[in-house]
Chain A
Amino acid sequence: MSPRRTETGGRIDRLRTIRFTFDGAPYTGHAGDTLASALLANGVTLFGRSFKYHRPRGLLSAGVEEPNALVTVLRGEVREPNIAATMVEIYDGLVAVSQNRFPSLAWDVNAVNQLGGKILAAGFYYKTFMGPVFGPLKGTRFWMFCEHFIRRAAGLGKAGIAADTSRYERMNAFCDVLVVGSGPAGLSAAKAAADQGARVIMTELEPRFGGSANWSGETIDGAPAADWAARTVTQLEGHDTVRLLPRTTAWGYYDGNTIAALERVTDHKETPGKGEPRHRYWAIRAKTVVLATGSFERPLVFPGNDRPGVMLAHAGERYANDYGVLPGDRIALFTNNDSAYRSALALKKAGAAIVAIVDVRPELSAEMRSLATEAEAEIVSGHAVVATEGGKALSGLKVQRFDMNSGTLSGDARSIHANCLLMSGGWSPTIHLASQAGARAEWNADRQAFLPPKPTQQQWIGAGAFNGSFSTVEAITEGRAAGLSAAGATGAPAAVPDVEATPGNPDPAPVFEIKAKGKSFVDFQHDVTAEDVRLAHREGFVSVEHLKRYTTLGMATDQGKNSNVPGLAIMAEALGKPIPEVGTTRFRPPYSAVSIGSLAAERFGDLKPERLTPMHDWHLANGATMYSAGLWFRPMIYGLAGETIEQAYVREARATRESAGIVDVSTLGKIAVQGPDAGEFLDRVYTNMFSTLAVGKARYGLMLREDGLAFDDGTTWRLGEQDFLMTTTTANTGKVMQHLEYFLDVIWPELKVTVTSVTDEWAGAAIGGPKARAILAACVTGTAVDNTALPFMGIVRGQIAGVPVMICRLSFSGEMAFEVYSGAGYGTHVWEALVEAGKPFGLVTYGLEALGTMRIEKGHVTGAEIDGRTTARDLHLDWMLSKKKPFIGSAMMDREGLIAPERLQLVGLVSLDNRPLNGGAHIVEELDAANPHDSIGHITACCYSPALGKHIALALVEGGKARHGTRAFVSDPLRKRFGPVEIVSNHFYDPDGSRMHG
């Protein structure tokens, strides 16, 4: 039998023994145990080390607010750091280790920091480590030297580098009523709403529904509260409109009543089921939210309040009643309110000796006195704990007479021997979600707590302890009313339930801190003491946000759940102001820390879909090296064995210019522009005319943005009087589509035009080169492809391999070239037929590299030149700016900054030292490799040109056109490439276009 396990009681399954390890040592526990309860049952008192002073720490709580007992759970190589032991359900084979200690939890060298004590007070680092003003450590060097060590001492657990192999998923849910919390209030709300036929979702962050009903020891309607809760859950499960989510933390309250919740699906399992996600991220859109989130018990601030063995009172009660574990066998309590008396009695019943109840209040009610008597506990009223004793476990405490009104201590200190001290500083409603939803908390002087106000913009209703209604009767009554109201019912509320509970006044005495010698912790994990709060006050950091930021109070993993109110109270006292005038911080999501995996959800390991052309598999099967372009994959080269990338693209480009080449152009954006006003619309959208384009012809078009800068280019084909097929650059497809839709919907609704993305409808193959026409002639049926039937920019329809195709004679490569479009489902048939037909003609397949090479040789622009900063003039496309009509951008394109002569303009460059040029290299007039300066431009694209036998580039250069024929230098200090170039026209190859016009 474990030293602290009770004989009976608790909701664990004593017949099931579970084996696990902590810091390498084997332990056993029972099904239903958390790591915290199981270790506690094994007599473990030391769970962790604090952040700054590395003080030994035990369990403070039994729940999500635990600041001390943080562990790392290991699953093979995969690490999960910083989990509260109170939230880890044990399973066979669980491996947990403590953290932030070296070499071991029991003996930690960084505990030496405690000696630094007063020097390491709040904000000390702002005042030092600046280092000398002169010498080798001037500037930031000294600080960075210190920082190196500070960073290693700080931090909690260690993150993993090994990829997590779990899966995460998202679930989009909709409901009428979302109930957050499944204590008596939440259960009652869910039941009331479900009985009205509402779609209900209820979330509970713990494994078991019922909240305090599981451990309160109360009876509801004649049954033990836990049985009542179980019965209610069974009733809820009978509704098919109800979804119950255990182990699910509602962590974020977003606009539109959208609640984010995290369901821990398999963390408690040794092995997840096939396909089962570890975490499921619920995005719940609820018509109404019922917040039944309960409340947190607050610690008291007194010297030594962080000693292992000092715990929140209700946590002790929970360990006994929920888990059958005694946190100590000689237990003292220290309280400012009545709730601790119930805890004392519960622990007495569970088998512990209650040695004393130390109460700051001088007068106690008869009811409390009788509870203490029942617990066989000595009442030490009008006293306070002023010290605790022991090392890594509590051995005793000291109490002194205490005046609640003045806060002064008097008389001799008296020692009490105890190995557990349970404290209760009153209760704070868990108002985080309401605060996230925009509600400003209001201080209630009776409850000594911030209570939620009325909801403002979001649709929520509070119930139970969340409202500061701490009794179970109130919780059930408010829960029922909230559930009914949330479901839109107006019926009379059900009769008040019959609850048997220990009596108690919900209002604590307004005592937060006992000022005595020694460190009194406010924020346990971050080691923020009451003295730190007062130091912040002395230095003027008095607003609540300054307090938080200066001392780091409330910034630990518990996010102030334990420290917020005590910290405020101490600052308020220092300022001589009431607490509400100091303010409270607005809570931000998440309510408690959320795994990043869950937020990435189904996109973990699958960030973006792959976009594939119809011929994708053919490319792979035929040796293509693929290039990721946005979401698309496109062939970069079709390399032969032993070829480098450059050898491959040079071969492909050369073969294309010598015979013919074929390239997959299916990724080009294609937009169907249809309707009686389509021509007029295109005239407004493009800088040049399209309404005059003949049916069966295509035209190259340029679009500007409203601000007059170049936006996109492409050819648009007139397939019918009212039917155009626009093509866009691959990268800009989505933007162009939205641009067109915006103008049609918002600016020119009178135009009868529809635009539809048909990118995926068509497979496109561009075939170019001197033999291209002959190849087409060899495989196309149903139409001629000669110069008469298919002139430059002409379009014909025919068949290839029995498949209907549309052929447009246009050229990007500068060769006689054709784009062949077919239905995407036939793309591979047509492609294969073309490749087959091309074999006798020496047709090659080519990829993006050769495509780029040939376009550079021709001086065509792409996204590297139309980069959102260039104008049509900069790119020598001003011939396309119609003077006959206004178009988008026409009014703004001639502003002074856009026509300045020193603007960057498109030019060609030829390497004069015969060495390769680099993309992103800059251009200078005078070379200074040691101290590069005065850049006049940069290279946008470069290649070895097989047609010219030279290394060439396109570049944007200041006043570029006027520099044609002059010499300059590439200056690429990043890659140490410097050398002479000649600035030339961007039209390197066949500037007259004789090859493509044939």
Chain B
Amino acid sequence: MAEYSALSLLTNALRGNKDWKPAWRKPDPKASYDVIIIGGGGHGLSTAYYLAKEHGITNVAVLEKGWLGSGNVGRNTTAVRSNYLLPSNTRFYEHSMKMWENLSHDLNYNVMFSQRGCLNLAHTPGQFDDLARRGNAMRHLGVDAELMSTAEIARLVPALDMSASARFPIVGGLMQPRAGTARHDAVAWGYARGADRRGVDIVENCEVTGFLRDGDRIIGVQTTRGEIRAKKVAVAVAGSTGRVMQLAGVDRMPIESHVLQAFVTESLKPFIDTVLTFGMGHFYMSQSDKGGLVYGGDIDGYNSYAQRGNLPIVDEVMSEMLALFPGLARVRMLRSWGGVCDMSMDGSPIITTGPLPGMYLNCGWCYGGFKATPASGWCFAYTIAKDEPHAFNAPFTLDRFYRGMVIDDKGQGATPRLH
């Protein structure tokens, strides 16, 4: 397959773009593999890619029930950051950040990672101290973070309402300069193409309908395209974890599925050059390269597998948006959609061996999944290949809840709708 480059674009253009080949093959599944990965989303595809690239395990199938990337990798608001409070999270997401910084080259696919920074706003001196705590925690782990004054914020984001008389005046912010956004679909496609080139079978329209077992042990899956056996079966289906694990007889998990809505405006000329979050509610926004403002807020707050939400959150998000940007009242919301999130009991993910022999589990991403894509796949591949976690994902066990070793960045306890 041709490498992608400016030159290949030009030569192909001269040939009328007739010679481009499919980005990935469309193979039929084989009868057995070394590793089956259930879930052709960002995490499943990156896991396959790193299994092949880092561990030389290429006899791998990724099974996707619908079209590739149809889950959350194509439904998020594309922010990439590692500005967490707790060290277990910061280390993991910073590992991811470093991978993002070279991802386009690694994949030979432009995932458009744009390090335009992520700015968290504070609205009271107390909040500013909380941000300082977080920023200092990052700095002590070697992660970039800076406090910003109101004057600096006003320069960076001129459209913000910086007035002291605002209901929640802005008093400062925490900036992670290396954070940014990426083109979400491209991440799925880039990983798919990369894994495919290393021999991984990516099988779309192949829904897992059951697990093949030998006693307790998982030895393969039943699918809408027949039985497929494997030495190892990895589950990376965030959003559908409950459904898939029930097929394996695991009825209860420390996870609730919730719907998160996201929104985009009509295309605008450059309006905001960073990722921004509001401190007195839950609102975040960036601008896509096409010009649409991409934004969102809280989850709807009830169990849902429907990729659509309801009006209260729509209204809340827009109200918070205008509290920051009163000039946007006349800009229009063009499209909204919903993604189903695995909300875990402490807001942090699970990447682990088990819970059944022969099975490996990657889930519980809440709304942090997109930015985790490289590190999640990298750690999961390590865990599958070595049958033990890497230090980066060692804290993300399933039994941490039981043992009281939760990683609760928001301090909300076992109430998933608040994470």
Is A119 within 8 A of B9, CB to CB? yes
Contact of B269 among A158, A605, A708 (CB under 8 A): A158
The reply to whether A154 and B110 contact each other, CB–CB distance below 8 Å, is no
Q: Kindly provide the distance from the CB of A785 to the nearest chain B CB, expressed in whole angstroms.
A: 35
Q: Is B246 an interface residue (CB 8 A)?
A: no
When the two chains form the complex, which single residue of A143, A608, A920, A922 contacts B130, counting CB atoms closer than 8 Å?
A920
Interface members, chain A 601-620 (any B CB < 8 Å): 601, 603-608, 610
Q: Which of B108, B114, B314 contacts A140 (CB 8 A)?
A: B114
> What chain A residues lie within 8 Å of B280 (beta carbons)?
607-608
Contact partner, B147, options A127, A160, A539, A975, Cβ 8 Å: A975
The answer to whether B225 has its CB under 8 Å from any CB of chain A is: no
Per the bound structure, the CA–CA distance linking A124 and B289 in Å amounts to 14
Tell me how far the C-beta of A958 lies from the nearest C-beta in chain B, rounded to whole angstroms.
Answer: 11
Out of A118, A594, A895, A938, which one reaches B13, CB within 8 Å?
A118
**Given A124-B9, A596-B321, CB of A895 within 8 Å of CB of B403:** yes
Inter-chain contact B319/A607, CB cutoff 8 Å: yes
- Cβ-defined contact, A539 with B140, below 8 A: no
- The 0/1 profile, CB within 8 Å of B marked 1, for residues 119-155 of chain A is 1010011111110010000111001100100111011
| Extra contacts besides A707-B406, A934-B140 (15): CB < 8 Å | A82-B332, A117-B13, A140-B113, A155-B267, A161-B158, A164-B326, A164-B329, A538-B20, A546-B67, A559-B334, A559-B335, A588-B337, A599-B318, A897-B406, A972-B136
A residues 913-935 with Cβ under 8 Å of B?
Answer: 918-922, 924, 931-935
Q: Are B269 and A152 in contact (CB under 8 A)?
A: yes
Chain A residue with Cβ nearest B130: A920
A541 touches B332 (CB 8 A): no
Taking CB as reference atom, which chain B residue is nearest A970?
Answer: B136
Q: How far is the CB of A556 from chain B (nearest CB, A)?
A: 8
Sampled A-B contacts (10; CB under 8 Å): A80-B330, A81-B331, A140-B114, A140-B180, A143-B104, A144-B114, A260-B314, A607-B322, A608-B168, A895-B403
Encoded as 1 (CB less than 8 Å from any B CB) or 0, chain A from 538 to 574 comes to 1111010110011010010101000000000000000
The 10 closest A-B pairs by CB, nearest first: A868-B411, A920-B132, A919-B129, A155-B291, A597-B329, A897-B404, A895-B404, A540-B22, A163-B326, A127-B4
Q: Are B403 and A896 in contact (CB under 8 A)?
A: yes
A155 in contact with B270 (CB, 8 Å) = yes
Interface residues of B in 172-187 (CB under 8 A from A): 180, 183, 185-186
Report the nearest B residue to A705, measured CB to CB: B413
- Give the number of residues in B that approach A within 8 Å (Cβ atoms): 116
Q: Closest residue to B318 on the A side, CB-wise?
A: A599
Q: Is the CB of B67 within 8 A of A932?
A: no
A259 to chain B, nearest CB (A): 10
**A538 near B318: Cβ-Cβ < 8 Å:** no
A260 in contact with B330 given A129-B110, A538-B21 (CB within 8 Å): no
Near A by CB (< 8 A), chain B positions 148-173 give 158-159, 161, 167-169
Given A892-B404, A935-B137, A975-B132, the answer on whether A255 and B310 have CB atoms closer than 8 Å is: yes
Measured CA separation A869–B412 after assembly (Å): 8
| Residue of A whose beta carbon sits closest to that of B326 | A163
Known: A540-B24, A596-B318. A147 touches B289 (CB 8 A): yes
Contact of B327 among A118, A138, A160, A706 (CB under 8 A): A160
Q: B8, B133, B146 — which one has the most chain A CB atoms within 10 A of its CB? A: B133
A775 to chain B: closest CB distance in Å?
31
Q: How far is the CB of B204 from chain A (nearest CB, A)?
A: 8
Enumerate chain B residues within 8 angstroms of A128, measured Cβ to Cβ.
4-6, 9, 110
Are A868 and B413 closer than 8 Å at their CB atoms?
yes
- B224 interfacial by beta-carbon distance below 8 Å: no
Chain B proximity of A655: nearest CB distance (Å) = 23
B292 → chain A, closest Cβ, in Å?
9
A596 contacts B265, CB within 8 Å? yes
- Using known A-B contacts A600-B315, A919-B132, A920-B129, determine if residue A126 contacts B13 with beta carbons closer than 8 Å: no
B183: nearest residue on chain A (CB-CB)? A126
| In the complex, chain B residues whose CB is within 8 Å of the CB of A972 | 132, 136
Q: Residue A833 at the B interface, CB < 8 A? A: no
| A933 to B139 Cα, complex, angstroms | 8
Question: How distant is the Cα of A160 from the Cα of B159 in the complex, in angstroms?
Answer: 8
Q: Mark B49-92, 1 if CB is under 8 A from A, else 0.
A: 00000000000000000111010001000000000000000000
- Tell whether A168 is near chain B: CB-to-CB under 8 Å: yes
A867 is an interface residue with CB less than 8 A from chain B: yes
- Among B181-205, those with CB < 8 Å from A are 183, 185-186, 189-190, 204
Which single member of A118, A559, A628, A709 contacts B413 (CB below 8 Å)? A709
Known: A118-B16, A549-B74, A596-B265. A897 touches B319 (CB 8 A): no
Q: Using CB atoms and an 8 Å cutoff, list the residues of chain A in contact with chain B.
A: 51, 78-82, 117-119, 121, 124-130, 133, 138-140, 143-144, 147, 150-152, 154-164, 166, 168, 170, 252, 254-255, 258, 260, 283, 436, 531, 535, 538-541, 543, 545-546, 549-550, 552, 555, 557, 559, 588-590, 593-597, 599-601, 603-608, 610, 627-629, 705-709, 864, 867-869, 892, 895-898, 918-922, 924, 931-935, 938-939, 971-975
**A139 lies within 8 A of B412 (CB):** no
Chain B residues near A892 (CB-CB < 8 A): 404
> Is there contact, CB below 8 Å, between B328 and A159?
yes
Q: Interface digits, B205-234 against A, CB 8 Å rule (1 contact, 0 not)?
A: 000000000000000000000000000000
In the assembled complex, B385 has its CB within 8 A of some CB on chain A = no
Inter-chain contact A155/B290, CB cutoff 8 Å: yes
Contact (A920, B333) CB under 8 Å given A118-B17, A869-B408: no
B203 to chain A, nearest CB (A): 13
Residues of A within 8 A of B323 (CB): 607
Query: Of A144, A603, A922, which contacts B115 at CB under 8 A?
Result: A144
Question: How far apart are the CA atoms of A250 and B410 in the complex, in Å?
Answer: 38
With beta carbons under 8 angstroms apart, the residue of B20, B129, B408 that contacts A868 is: B408
CA distance A892 to B406 in the complex (A): 13
B289 touches A150 (CB 8 A): yes
Q: How far is the CA of A781 from the CA of B326 in the complex (A)?
A: 53
B109 touches A126 (CB 8 A): yes
Q: Which residues of B contact A118 (CB under 8 A)?
A: 13-14, 16-17
- Residues on B with beta carbons closer than 8 Å to the beta carbon of A78: 327, 330
Complex contact A139–B6 (CB within 8 A): no
- Which of B70, B133, B141, B330 has the largest number of chain A CB atoms within 10 A? B330
User: At the interface, yes or no: B112 with Cβ under 8 Å from chain A?
Assistant: yes
B30 at the interface (CB under 8 A from A): no
Chain B residue at minimum C-beta to C-beta distance from A852: B126
Smallest Cβ distance from A863 to chain B, in angstroms? 9
Contact residues, B370-419 vs A (CB, 8 A): 400, 402-406, 408, 410-414
Partner of A531, one of B17, B21, B125, B322: B17
Contact: A597 with B135, CB < 8 Å?
A: no
Q: Is there contact, CB below 8 Å, between A119 and B140?
A: no
A628 touches B168 (CB 8 A): yes
